[in-house]
Structure 1
Amino acid sequence: MKYRTALMYSEIGCFVVCVCGWILVCSTMPTEQWTWSEVESIVLTTSNYFSNLWKDCISDSTGVSDCKGFPSMIALPTYIHLCRSLIIISIVLGFFGAILALVGMKCTKIGGTEIINARVTFAAGLNYLISGLCGMFAYSWYGNKVVSEFKNPHYKAQKFELGVGLFIGWGGSFLLICGGLVYSIFAGREGCQSR
């Protein structure tokens, strides 16, 4: 009975960790500062440029900001399209992982037998794990692109630095990967032993 109680508390802890990671990944979609750059044109005026997957923005030292969406879907670079799709996949998989986890956890009585609940929880863990990996790949690829353009001496366009949205996304993806891995290990072991 103690093992079951410990397993139930670990499932609840993993659920909280995964939901927090999923919320962090969701919060990066509207976050405007995935990249940022500061340009000092004269002594009194400083312009801040920042962008994300959907738009470019500029703000001045008075706090007034103006954003403009990307004008063409076809003209966007491939990595923007891939990052958009991977993050949307990550959000959708995290949502379904939460539903499966609620159905399969030991503290809920929605599912059927212990074997079925363990298998449903294992599926939730796989959803969370794949969700975290999709998010981690998208944020890392976008961040690598920003860093490589910044360090390239032949890149003549404006250089940007890593913004807060990427760090939030990396943290959320890490939480999803850790929680999904623990879910998958414990539920997979229980599901295989119960055959």
Structure 2
Amino acid sequence: MGFLTTKIMQRTAVFVTFGGLVTSLITTFLPLWKTMNSDLNEMENWFSGLWHTCLYTEEVGIQCKAYESILGLPMDLQISRVLMSVSIGTGGLALLAAFPGLEGVETCSGKPGLKRRFLIVGGVLSWVSGLTTLAPVSFVAYTTVVDFWDEGFPDVMPRWEYGEAMFSGWFGGLALVVGGTLFFIAVCMGDFDQRPPSVPNSPQVTHRTKHYMKTEVL
């Protein structure tokens, strides 16, 4: 495909990585990781996130309150806070590292080897960012399922369920992993474009040509 050039692949990797980073950033601060609705009072909806919990009622609207103690949080939320912070940091570093390696950027112009290394570092950091997004979201999802099916809780007690932020977190993490993969594909495409052309007048080709000429004369 002529339109699928190394430059287009690099721009696509940046676009996908940036989209995944923004999605992960929004997911980190959304209070919609878990949701709960009480059968006793259907007018109340509870929402829980990494930083605060919210209550929605038709009379008052939505009211949010930050967690009072970090150490008092469940272990899954504590770990998720750390990993999502790492994800945002490494995702931002991935874009900063990959930018000098893009074609058309004058930074490090004339140094294809250095540009190639910048793209590789950007791809690795994007992978790390994606994995540190997928891990906490999947961990919270696992603990939510375990608590939901825990037979020790009475049936009348409301239980937490998946919120919209869980799905946006999975999408953002996958986008970051795909973006990192596209960076490596762009590096491979660049290596393929810079390969030395085959020389038709090489000694081996010349020797074979002479051999064929002798055979024709005989």
Identity %, equivalent residues: 22
- 1:29 is paired with a residue of what secondary structure? helix
> How many residues get paired?
190
1:76 aligns with 2:85: no
Q: What's 2:33 paired with?
A: 34
Distance 1:155 1:107 in 2: 60
Stretches of 4+ aligned residues off by more than 4 angstroms: 188-191
C-alpha contact 1:40 1:47 (8 A) present in aligned 2? no
1:99 aligns with 2:68: no
Provide the TM-score with structure 2 as the length reference.
Answer: 0.79
C-alpha contact 1:123 1:184 (8 A) present in aligned 2? no
1:147 aligns with 2:142: no
Relative to structure 1, the CA distance from residue 188 to residue 116 in structure 2 (aligned partners, 3 Å threshold; closer, same or farther) is farther
1:138 aligns with 2:136: yes
Distance 1:155 1:54 in 2: 25
Which region of structure 1 is more displaced relative to structure 2, 14-23 or 146-155?
146-155
C-alpha contact 1:55 1:67 (8 A) present in aligned 2? yes
Provide the TM-score with structure 1 as the length reference.
Answer: 0.88
Distance 1:10 1:190 in 2: 10
C-alpha contact 1:128 1:179 (8 A) present in aligned 2? yes
Distance 1:114 1:190 in 2: 9
Deviations along 1:53-112, whole A, 9 cap, x unmatched? 111111113352222221112222222111101000000000011111111111312124
- Select the residue among 82, 87, 106 that pairs with 1:85: 82
Flag structure 1 segments of 5+ consecutive residues without an equivalent. Answer: none
> What root-mean-square deviation, in Å, do the aligned CA atoms of Structure 1 and Structure 2 show?
2.2
C-alpha contact 1:37 1:49 (8 A) present in aligned 2? yes
Flag structure 2 segments of 5+ consecutive residues without an equivalent. Answer: 196-218
C-alpha contact 2:6 2:190 (8 A) present in aligned 1? no
Distance 2:113 2:175 in 1: 26
